[in-house]
Amino acid sequence: MTIDNSTESIHTVEAEAKKRGFGAWLSSIFENKYIGLVALGIALLMPFLIATPYALNIMTTAAIFVVLAAGLNIVVGYCGLLDLGYIAFLAVGAYTAGIISKAFELPVLFTLPAVIVMCILAGLIIGAPTLRLRSDYLAIVTLGFGEITRITANNLTITGGPSGIFGIPGFLVIGHIDFQNPVIFYYLTVIIVAGLVLAAARLGRSRLGRAWKFVKEDEDAAEAMGIHTYKVKLLAYIFGAVWGGFGGMLFASHLTAISPMSFVFLQSALVLMAVVLGGMGNMKGVVLGALAISLLPEFLRDFSSYRYLLFGILLVVVMVFRPQGFWPPRGAEAERTKAERELAALANGLKK
Partner 1 sequence: MSAVLEVRDLEIAFGGVKAVDGLSFTANAKEIIAVIGPNGAGKTSAFNCITGFYKPTGGSVLLNGVDITGKRPADIAHEGVSRTFQNLRLFHDMTVLDNVRAGMHLYGGQNFLDAIFHTPRFRRSEAHYTAEAHYWLDFVGYRGRRGVPIRNLSYGQQKQVEIARALARKAELLLLDEPAAGLNHSEKQSLLELVRRIRDLGTAVVLIEHDMGLVMEVSERIVVMNFGKEIADGTPAEVKANPAVIEAYLGKDDEDEEVPAHGDA
Q: Which is nearer to partner 1, 301 or 352 (CB)?
A: 352
**Whole-number minimum distance, CB 1 to partner 1, in Å?**
5
**Whole-number minimum distance, CB 189 to partner 1, in Å?**
19
Neighbours of 215 (CB within 10 A): 23
Q: Which is nearer to partner 1, 155 or 337 (CB)?
A: 337
Q: Which is nearer to partner 1, 105 or 220 (CB)?
A: 220
Under 8 Å between Cβ of 232 and 239 = no
**Whole-number minimum distance, CB 43 to partner 1, in Å?**
21
What is the C-alpha separation between 281 and 342, in angstroms, rounded? 34
**Whole-number minimum distance, CB 207 to partner 1, in Å?**
6
What is the C-alpha separation between 253 and 275, in angstroms, rounded? 25
Under 8 Å between Cβ of 87 and 243 = no
Q: Which is nearer to partner 1, 323 or 331 (CB)?
A: 331
Under 8 Å between Cβ of 190 and 40 = yes
Interstrand relation of 177-178 and 173-174 (parallel, antiparallel or unpaired): antiparallel
What is the C-alpha separation between 124 and 41, in angstroms, rounded? 37
What is the C-alpha separation between 244 and 147, in angstroms, rounded? 16
**Whole-number minimum distance, CB 9 to partner 1, in Å?**
6
Q: Which residues bind partner 1 (CB under 8 A)?
A: 1, 3-5, 7-10, 12-13, 199, 202-203, 205-211, 213-214, 217-218, 220-229, 239, 329, 331-336, 340, 344-345, 348
Residue 72: closest CA among 349, 277, 324, 221:
277
Under 8 Å between Cβ of 289 and 62 = no
**Whole-number minimum distance, CB 45 to partner 1, in Å?**
27
Q: Which is nearer to partner 1, 10 or 264 (CB)?
A: 10
Q: Which is nearer to partner 1, 136 or 220 (CB)?
A: 220
Under 8 Å between Cβ of 96 and 114 = yes
